[in-house]
Amino acid sequence: MSRTVGIVVPAFRPDVAKLRRYATAISERLDPDTLVVELDAPRERVPSQLADLPADIETVPYRRGKGAAITAGFERLETDVLVFADADGSTPVASLEAVVDRVTAGEANLSVGSRRHPDADVASHQTFARRFLGDGFAWLAGTLLTVSLYDYQCGAKAIDADSWERVRAHLYEPGFAWDVELVAIAGAFDLRVVETPIRWEDQPGSTVSPVRDSVALFKALLAARHRAKQLSDDRLHTAIAAHRETPTALVERER
């Protein structure tokens, strides 16, 4: 029996023409059962410019952050497999399909697209500063987390619905750190996480600040490790958590 697929594209003030091309290509090649564009703080007339896309356009007037937007989109889906892809189209549709196929085929609970995998095809690179910081973060995350990957932050991931049901209440990061938190929590639950090499091309106009967001990512990595350790019944991290205020999970904030 084939598995139904839902895809979420989080977008904060996107390049409209680029988003239109990408969403159309996703629809034509992957033919998902549901395609949702989570549109944050759009400029005037942008929602109407996207209204004819083969997708549900969900708009909020403020910036939620990538993680919060994906979470809201996933909560709308009623499919067997839940997927997200960044709106800039850095992950071509053929590569996104490869990420999805690992889950639909039953090879993984969570399939993580990877531009740093040795078998990845990188058509154009980030700036040296962004590449250096990204490589350093990937090394540090691989050292601190139970799931060791070449790339935690690539904007293409797929997870099966049962696994999403397990991890959803343990995700707190509203921004770019959501990716690494998802991997950390999946590891804490011993889910099958696989890394899928992709073709990738850096896109100009990224909203990521190499310095500011790297600091935020580092703090979020430590927090994700702490939460993952709690779920693994680590005594030290459980004791630390007992003396801290419990934050509100993303799925609860959306209600």
Model pLDDT for residues 53-81, shown as the tens digit of each residue: 999 999 999 999 999 999 999 999 999 99
249 Rama sector, left if φ>0, alpha if ψ -120 to 50, beta otherwise: beta
Query: What are the CA-CA distances from residue 112 to residues 21, 71, 105 (Å)?
Result: 23, 16, 14
pLDDT at 128: 45
- The stretch 130-157 carries a mean pLDDT of 84
| pLDDT for 125 | 56
User: Residue 164: is its pLDDT beyond 80?
Assistant: yes
Rounded to whole angstroms, the Cα distance separating 191 from 110 reads 7
Among candidates 87, 38, 42, which has minimal Cα distance to 61?
42
Q: What is the DSSP string of 16-39?
A: HHHHHHHHHHHHHHH--SEEEEEE
Integer Cα distance of 91 and 199 in angstroms: 7
State the pLDDT confidence band at 166, using cuts at 50, 70 and 90: very high
How confident is the model over 100-135, as pLDDT tens digits? 999 999 999 999 999 999 999 987 655 545 565 667
Beta bridge partners, 182, equal none
36-65 burial: b if 16+ Cβ within 10 Å, else e = bbbbbebeeebeeebeebebebbeeeeebb
Query: How many other CB atoms are found less than 10 A from the CB of residue 234?
Result: 16
* Predicted local distance difference test score (pLDDT) of residue 122: 86
Name the maximum alpha-carbon separation found in the chain.
53
Closest Cα to residue 131, out of 197, 200, 206, 210? 210
What per-residue confidence (pLDDT) applies to 135? 75
CATH class of this structure's domain 5-253: alpha beta
Both tokens of 8, joined, read 């979420």
Contact 173, 67 (CB under 8 A): yes
d(CA 177, CA 240): 22
Model confidence at 13, pLDDT cuts 50, 70, 90, reads very high
Q: Mean per-residue pLDDT for 209-226? A: 78
- pLDDT for 1 beyond 60: no
Contact 57, 47 (CB under 8 A): yes
CA 101 vs. chain centroid, Å, equals 16
